[in-house]
Amino acid sequence: MTRGPAPASVFEMEEAWMDRFEDTLNTPEAEEFRNRVRTLLSEHLPEDIRVQGEQEKMDVSKEDQRRWHKIVRAHGLACPSWPSEYGGPGLNDTELYILEREFALAGAPRPMIYGVTMLGPALIAHGTAEQKRRFLPGILEGDTFWCQGFSETGAGSDLASLKCAARREGEEYVINGHKMWTSEGHIADWMFGIFRTDSTGRKQQGITFLLLDMRSPGITVQPIQTFDGTGIEINQVFFDDVRVPVDQRIGTEGAGWDIAKSVLTAERFGNAEVSRSIASLARLKAYCRSTVVDGRPLVENPFVARRLVELEIALHAVEQTELRFLFHAGEEVGAEAALLKLRGTEVQNAILAATTDLRGPAASIFFAQSDREADAPASHAAASQALKAHMNYRKTMIYGGSSEVQRNILAKGVLGL
């Protein structure tokens, strides 16, 4: 009997897949697009905004976010994942990957995430023609600033337990209750959120997706000062008989959970921030090469070198996972996004923790005293900024669902447990 060829090993299949991926990223079309993005960044990224990226500042001011968005919009690359029929550039997967990577490496701000990355695609998928006409242009042009009203006290990781109620009265919903950890709620023009419209069924039922003007009577925003010294970012939002027109409901009443899940999947995929972790690790390695301790570069210390190599290996594994999902999944990624979010945020935090550790005790000298950083030695100010970033980014392992929630999603949705 003649045997057929032996099946390819996992390593052979991996090598073949990576070859195909490299070919995709290095076509003349991809190279032309990469050069277009690099030209935009080199000629038009404001220096003061770029410095904030290099300092690992996640939360750029509203004015700077809008300023950069309008620059990108003028060059036809705003809302990159949106189809051209809604004003987006209609980029393919390869172009989206290149754009995100080049922006991160250059220190450019993240997109205006709540409108561009989260609400926009949800509106395109689930909104009515009138809702798209009304709300998408403001996001596209950077004129409307959105926040997300999902989490509540007692309903963060277990989001389906939310209690903030929206009662139907004729052609309006009347909202009472509160939302917690509302990022950028204090500077937002509008909120998209999920609210309890029925409590009689399973907790995932009776949830409705609404859009509301943050200037509506009855809304009170209470900023929360965090201990990391990076400024106001998160808020509590209280609703006291806030009236929202029914035509600002996305989807049908009680069907908001499925829309929210699609928004969360996009959030989790983006939360991995592989490209920004690559940039963060590159900055850390550059610091270790340029810093001399006891007569030799820090990178030559065997303990430091080992830590850097371990971070490089871990990040490479996350990068390969992201690439598989982006280019090799063959179908829309669902529960698998939890894996990327889980490991991506863990590795991201490990890099920032190492950055703080290797900066040494100077990191704590000007912590929570930003007004004094300008008078500090450059190395001390940079160390203080590293510690602030490390503290601030701890939240990435919680928002979008904590690491424990991601493991539960994987156990149920991928492993079938």
Helix and strand tally (H, E) in the chain?
15, 10
In angstroms, the CA 327 to CA 114 distance is 25
In angstroms, the CA 78 to CA 98 distance is 14
In angstroms, the CA 415 to CA 132 distance is 37
Angle of helix 337-359 relative to helix 274-290, nearest 10 degrees? 20
Strand partners, 220: 238
DSSP, collapsed to helix, strand or coil, labels residue 6 as coil
**Residue matched to tokens 């939240």:** 395
CATH architecture assigned to 10-111: Orthogonal Bundle (1.10)
* pLDDT values of the chain reduced to their tens digit, one per residue, 417 residues: 444 454 455 455 455 555 666 777 889 999 999 999 999 999 999 999 999 988 888 888 999 999 999 999 999 999 999 999 999 999 998 999 999 999 999 999 998 999 999 999 999 999 999 999 999 999 999 999 999 999 999 887 788 899 999 999 999 999 999 999 999 999 999 999 999 999 998 889 999 999 999 999 999 999 998 777 666 789 999 999 999 999 999 999 999 999 998 887 776 667 788 999 999 999 999 999 999 988 999 999 999 999 999 999 999 999 988 888 777 655 566 677 788 889 999 999 999 999 999 988 877 766 555 555 555 567 777 888 888 888 888 888 888 778 888 898 888 887 887
* Amino acid in the structure at residue 142: G
DSSP, collapsed to helix, strand or coil, labels residue 352 as helix
> CA 323, 324, 329: angle at the middle one, nearest 5?
135
DSSP state, residue 195 = E
CATH topology of domain 272-413: Butyryl-CoA Dehydrogenase, subunit A; domain 3 (1.20.140)
Show me where the domains of the chain are located: 10-111, 146-255, 272-413
In angstroms, the CA 218 to CA 214 distance is 9
Burial 271-286 (b: 16+ CB within 10 A, else e): bbbbbbbbbbbebbee
Q: What beta strand segments (E) does 125-233 contain?
A: 146-149, 165-169, 172-179, 190-196, 207-213, 219-224
177: CB partners within 8 A, 6+ apart: 152, 163, 164, 165, 195, 196, 238, 239
In angstroms, the CA 239 to CA 381 distance is 40
CATH topology of domain 146-255: Butyryl-CoA Dehydrogenase, subunit A; domain 2 (2.40.110)
Query: CA dist 264 to 327, 406, 408, Å?
Result: 21, 11, 15
pTM of the model: 0.87
Q: Within 10 A of 47 (CB to CB), how many other CB atoms are there?
A: 7
Strand partners, 172: 169, 245
